[in-house]
């Protein structure tokens, strides 16, 4: 019965990028379809893709997507601890939606009093969430068998123990070694933790499922838990990606017959989910690149968000990308900047307090008559706004830094007017503008305005709104996973009190 209280379920992984987030999204949708009131939870997330909650706080984008699939508003209790990498060794720590400072990996994972404070915070967040929703769909992080981090782990089996969760191990068969990774992940656990693992899901299978029937039996025999399902790899269902590893397959080239949109591939690119709707427009060929030749072929260039504006601005100046963008703009290409990309398009970026690092000031691309000063406080909020003269737009802001018009500079009008009457962004002309608003390209009216100079002879856009498209994709994902997962067995596992 949908009103019965279920134990939480945790999707733990044999490694990173095995598909835990997508399976969790599917289960959020399935439980909702079956009459439950589910919610996602990931104690600690490391990602540059983040999202603003309705109350103006910050969580990982993956949990916002899962909440959307579950049909509930996202909340910081769904992802109380977010790490946003700012270098190979340092991350900004966001606790309960607010940044609390930067920390090196060694200090973060050190076993001390501060680590236990974080543990108590994520436990409290789970407890609050569990009192409001049923069931909780939990997600682990990386591999559950990182033995050197066992004592400091906040997100995997120690979290499952606190939650009383039933753990399902997710293994990626596409990368090979599925027997060793699944068996080893279980065998390396303590006897106490081994008892928490109630089943296995094999993910990303390619080919005829009948060929793995023997493999399924072998896994159940050696691991001593059931295989709940073998989920085939899919390409025709579109769920927003969690991290930039997914961008490797999107670094193709310009093509003829479509509007070519080049998103500059920054080293610290963030919130590339901004381009999901534009990417699926039939008139558009969108690709990520830092190749100078491919930049020159674009009709539209987008400078995206970044966790490290100054570092990425320095890098694109060093590697020739900045020069290629300026050359393309001079030849008629539209250039749009979003968040960090907007900051880069200005005259300069100042960092007097060293918020981003040791570089205190760097010249921008000079395309917009604005200057940016980095500040320690972060703006995080959802917004409704008018884009130029187009009403009814929505998006969200997540940024550090304040951008203002250069005194005595060229004319720069506001790109957007927010619902509270304040303004955002800078508009020079239809080929040159920038904004702090993420999700601005989720609004069809903005896309139509952006493509208008190029798309008159191209295919017509789909009438389906981006929100309707996403809801459709969640249903397709749920159907796909439900077909290949033993849901009666999963419900039985989640109902048992062993």
**Which is the catalytic residue, given 28, 223, 339, 426?**
339
Phi then psi for residue 352, to 5 deg, are -65, -25
CA distance 114 to 117: 5
CA distance 454 to 476: 33
Q: Is 146 exposed, middle or buried (0-12, 13-18, 19+ CB in 10 A)?
A: middle
User: Active site includes 484?
Assistant: no
**Tokens linked to 335:** 């250039």
State the Cα torsion 106-172-181-483 to the nearest 10°.
130
User: Active site includes 426?
Assistant: no
CA distance 98 to 273: 21
**Tokens linked to 466:** 């981006």
User: SS3 letters for the chain?
Assistant: CCCCCCCCEEEEECCCCCCHHHHHHHHHHHHHHCCCECEEECCEEECCCEEECCCCCEEEHHHHHHHHHHCCCCCHHHCCEEEEECCCCEEEEEECCEEEEEEEHHHHCCCCHHHHHHHHHHHHHHHHHHHHCECEEEECCCCCCCHHHHHHCCCCHHHHHHHCCEEEEEEECCCCCHHHHHHHHHHCCCHHHHCCEEEEEEEEECCCHHHHHHHHHHHHHHHCCCEEEEEECCCCCCCCCCCHHHHHHHCCCCCCCCEEEEEECCCCEECHHHHHHHHCCCCEEEEEECCHHHHHCCCEEEECEECCHHHHHHHHHHCCHHHHHHHHHHCCCEEEEECHHHHHCCCEEECCCCCCCCCCEEECCCCCCEEEEEEEEEEEEEEEEEECCEEEEEEEEEEEEEEEECCCCCCCECCEEECCCCEECEEEECCEEEECCECHHHCHHHHHHHHCCCCCCCCCCCCCCHHHHHHHHHHHHHHHHHHHECHHHHHHHHHCCC
CA torsion through residues 200, 205, 209, 213, sign: negative
Give the count of beta carbons closer than 10 Å to the beta carbon of residue 319. 12
C-beta separation of 197 from 165 below 8 A: no
CA distance 157 to 19: 18
Active-site positions read: 339, 438
């Amino acid at each position: 019965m949908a009103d019965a209280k279920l134990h939480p379920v945790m999707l733990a992984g044999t490694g990173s990028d095995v598909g835990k987030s997508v399976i969790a999204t599917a289960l959020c949708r399935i439980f909702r379809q079956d009459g439950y009131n589910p919610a996602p939870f990931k104690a600690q997330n490391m990602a540059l893709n983040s999202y603003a909650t309705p109350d103006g706080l910050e969580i990982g984008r993956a949990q916002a997507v899962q909440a959307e699939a579950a049909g509930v508003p996202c909340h910081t209790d769904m992802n109380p601890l977010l790490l946003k990498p700012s270098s190979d060794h340092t991350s900004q720590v966001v606790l309960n939606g607010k940044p609390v400072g930067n920390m090196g990996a060694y200090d973060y994972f050190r076993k001390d009093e501060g680590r236990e404070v974080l543990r108590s915070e994520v436990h409290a967040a789970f407890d609050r969430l569990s009192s409001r929703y049923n069931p909780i769909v939990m997600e682990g992080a990386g591999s559950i068998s990182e033995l050197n981090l066992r004592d400091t782990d906040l997100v995997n089996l120690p979290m499952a123990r606190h939650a009383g969760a039933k753990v399902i191990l997710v293994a990626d068969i596409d990368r090979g070694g599925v027997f060793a990774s699944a068996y080893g992940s279980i065998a390396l656990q303590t006897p106490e933790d081994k008892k928490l693992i109630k089943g296995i899901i094999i993910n990303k299978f390619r080919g005829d499922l009948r060929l793995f029937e023997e493999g399924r039996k072998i896994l159940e025999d050696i691991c001593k838990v059931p295989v709940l399902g073998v989920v085939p790899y899919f390409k025709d269902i579109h769920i927003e990606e969690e991290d930039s590893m997914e961008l490797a397959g999107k670094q193709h080239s310009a093509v003829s017959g479509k509007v070519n949109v080049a998103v500059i591939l920054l080293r610290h690119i963030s919130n590339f989910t901004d381009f999901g709707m534009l990417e699926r427009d039939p008139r558009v060929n969108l690709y990520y690149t830092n190749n100078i030749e491919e930049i020159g072929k674009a009709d539209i260039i987008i400078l995206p968000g970044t966790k490290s504006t100054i570092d990425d601005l320095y890098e694109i100046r060093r590697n020739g990308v900045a020069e290629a963008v300026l050359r393309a703009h001079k030849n008629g290409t539209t250039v749009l900047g979003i968040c960090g990309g907007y900051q880069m398009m200005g005259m300069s970026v100042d960092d007097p307090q060293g918020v981003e690092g040791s570089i205190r000031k760097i010249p921008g691309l000079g395309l917009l008559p604005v200057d940016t000063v980095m500040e320690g406080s972060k703006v995080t909020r959802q917004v409704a706004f008018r884009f130029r003269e187009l009403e009814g737009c929505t998006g969200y802001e997540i940024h550090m830094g304040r951008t203002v018009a250069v005194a005595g500079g060229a004319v720069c009008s506001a790109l957007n007017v927010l619902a509270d009457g304040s303004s955002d962004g800078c508009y020079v002309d239809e080929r040159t503008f920038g904004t702090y608003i993420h999700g601005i390209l989720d609004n069809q009216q903005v896309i139509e305005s952006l493509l208008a100079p190029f798309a008159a002879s191209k295919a017509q856009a789909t009438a389906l709104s981006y929100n309707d498209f996403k809801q459709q994709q969640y249903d397709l994902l749920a159907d796909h996973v439900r077909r290949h997962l033993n849901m009666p067995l999963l419900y039985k596992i989640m109902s048992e009190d062993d």
